[in-house]
């Protein structure tokens, strides 16, 4: 089973966008469950407006994370994606870090944004000392279409203790338009193709 948390204490970095599309992409290949841990329930609200059936199951757990529950109910998912609340200071997040195999940390492509995740990196390293299996990777989000990472950002990434996936998520209107309809980029026509290719590449990296 793949057990992956999408985590960052900052809001607006793309946790929910990435969780939803990552789960939908995985669901093309394996039974997938998306767990919404945000008390604001963004992912659940999104799922509730879905105009077409979603490829994955969505479960809202506002009361906190129970590592045993998701696999105890219903079909056994082979992939569980956890969309985390924008905080580090909760038992929920500590529980998540202790339970999952991988964390993906969305960051915007600016060194300042990266350094603001330093405290998160420390929490992840602490969890890695307890649980040797935990793997952590940064995922750059909202990269300008057609432009490369700035050299300042590349330098900052090299100094950061957590490695990044080589695929980045570009800034694309289709991520916003699908979210507004409660859909994912895996459920739209050709205008979703570049975004799907991006998420399939991310999934290939995550699975290795």
Ligand X SMILES: Nc1ncnc2c1ncn2[C@@H]1O[C@H](COP(=O)(O)OP(=O)(O)O)[C@@H](O)[C@H]1O
- Residues at the site binding ligand X, with contacts judged by CB under 6 A: 11-17, 42, 141-142, 169, 171-172, 175-176, 179
Closer to ligand X by CB, 74 or 194: give it: 194
Quick one: what does residue 74 bind among ligand X, Mg ion, none, with the CB cut-off 5 to 8 Å set by partner type?
A: none
Residues that bind Mg ion (CB under 5 A): 15-16, 42
Other residues' Cβ atoms within 10 Å of the Cβ of residue 101: 15
Minimum distance of ligand X from residue 68's CB (angstroms): 25
CA distance 104 to 148: 21
Q: What is the DSSP letter of 52?
A: S
CA distance 208 to 206: 6
- What is the C-alpha separation between 27 and 29, in angstroms, rounded? 5
> Shortest gap between Cβ of 71 and ligand X (angstroms)?
24
Least CB distance from residue 16 to ligand X, whole Å? 3
Q: Give the integer Cα–Cα distance in Å for 179 and 188.
A: 11
Please give the distance of CA 79 from its chain centroid, rounded to a whole number.
Answer: 13
The interface partner of residue 172, options being Mg ion, ligand X, none and the CB cut-off 5 to 8 Å by kind, is ligand X
Minimum CB–partner distance for residue 130 and ligand X (Å)? 25
């Amino acid at each position: 089973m793949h057990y992956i948390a999408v985590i960052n204490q900052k809001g607006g970095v793309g946790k929910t966008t990435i969780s939803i599309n990552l789960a939908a992409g995985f669901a093309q290949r394996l039974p997938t469950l998306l767990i919404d841990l945000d008390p604001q329930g963004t992912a659940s609200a999104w799922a509730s407006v879905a105009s077409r059936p979603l490829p994955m199951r969505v479960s809202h757990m506002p009361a906190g994370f129970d590592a045993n529950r998701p696999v105890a109910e219903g079909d056994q998912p082979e992939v569980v994606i956890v969309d985390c609340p924008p905080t580090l200071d909760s038992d929920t997040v500590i529980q998540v870090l202790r339970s999952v195999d991988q964390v993906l940390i969305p960051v915007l492509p600016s060194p300042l944004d990266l350094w603001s995740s330093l405290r998160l990196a420390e929490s992840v390293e602490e969890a890695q000392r307890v649980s040797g299996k935990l793997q952590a990777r940064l995922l750059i989000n909202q990269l300008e279409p057609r432009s490369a990472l700035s050299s300042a950002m590349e330098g900052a990434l090299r100094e950061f203790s957590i490695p990044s996936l080589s695929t980045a998520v570009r800034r694309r209107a289709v991520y916003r338009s699908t979210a507004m309809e409660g859909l994912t980029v895996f459920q739209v026509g050709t205008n979703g193709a570049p975004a799907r290719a991006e998420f399939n590449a991310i999934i290939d990296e995550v699975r290795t």
